Amino acid sequence: MFQGSIPALITPFTNGKVDSAAFKKLVEWQITEGSDGLVPCGTTGESPTLSHEEHMHVTEMCIDAAAGRVPVIAGAGSNSTDEAVMLASHAKKAGAQAALVVMPYYNKPTPEGQYRHFKAVHDAANLPIVIYNIPGRSVVDMTLETMARLAKLPNIVGVKDATSDLVRPIQTNNLLGDNFCQLSGEDATALAHLVGGGKGCISVSANVAPRLISSMQRAWREGRYQDAIDIQFRLMPLHDALFCESSPGPVKYLAELLGICSSESRLPICEISDESKQKVKAAAVSVGLLN
């Protein structure tokens, strides 16, 4: 259903407000550069600090700007089931092709609680849902058994896997088959995830290097495996640097250097340190994004 390079879009801010013009420009650039889909209002989009009104506005802007040229998987997760239902229902009404629903964070739900959470969103929104499994931020890790149980629901279509477990995509593929859409949630393991049966990556780095990352994904799909390997090796310094501090701090700093938008974020995300800025600059030069 979904494949390739799918940027988890940053949300530009200016003087504390969403910069709508910069966001629309970013969407257009991503499509022009070859991105295969878009995710607004994910973690990289600072969804935890967006108001409900801002969240819905950004989702609507993305869908309108994309204009059907690439699929939009709208971030619609929350640790409150009612809030996740509301955001996913809005995504459906706004015209998104799917909703990205994160594992409930902080609450630490049991497998049964996880199942009921996703089923409630599934039943209410009537929209394809991609599970976002990220134990590093949500603490809990969805088991294969729970995922298999959820996959029996018609609109649970895939997973964004940010576990860093490279056995997981193979096990998931063996259990659920090739039609269950597996997307990597980590740029550093994106290529290895493809080897294990993945279809693509919901990417942070693609905010600033969309053409390179979409080229890597396309090379893999076309069987040009050495090309894909070469591109991923070239990109690794960038992937590493963009996580030298909490995301999206580093990627927003590089976005500002590239003239995409301001590096402004919302607390508790703050400006990265001078040392981190040097790391990001050096990586961008090594990859060829900056002279």
Of 185, 181, 165, the C-alpha closest to 173 is 181
Q: What is the pLDDT of residue 62?
A: 98
- Contact (Cβ atoms closer than 8 angstroms) between residue 38 and residue 234: no
The residue written with tokens 């969403």 in the block is 18
The residue written with tokens 């996703």 in the block is 118
Q: What is the pLDDT of residue 20?
A: 98
Active site residue 132: yes
Q: What is the pLDDT of residue 144?
A: 97
How large is the C-alpha radius of gyration of the chain?
18
Q: Which residues of the chain have pLDDT under 50?
A: none
Q: What is the pLDDT of residue 1?
A: 82
Active-site entry in 105, 115, 160, 277: 160
Q: What is the pLDDT of residue 214?
A: 98
**Tens digit of each residue's pLDDT (9 = 90 or more) over 117-146:** 999 999 999 999 999 999 999 999 999 999
Active site residue 24: no
Residue 148's alpha-carbon distances to 102, 143, 152, 165, 172, in angstroms, are 17, 9, 7, 17, 8
**In the chain, what are the domain boundaries?**
4-222
Q: What is the CB neighbour count within 10 angstroms for residue 163? A: 19
Q: What is the pLDDT of residue 283?
A: 98
**Tens digit of each residue's pLDDT (9 = 90 or more) over 74-93:** 999 999 999 999 999 999 99
Q: What is the pLDDT of residue 220?
A: 98
CATH code matching the domain that covers 4-222, chosen among 3.40.50.1970, 1.10.1130.10, 3.20.20.70, 3.40.50.720: 3.20.20.70
Q: What is the pLDDT of residue 23?
A: 98
> Is the whole model's pTM more than 0.85, yes or no?
yes
Q: What is the pLDDT of residue 291?
A: 86
Active-site entry in 132, 199, 252, 279: 132
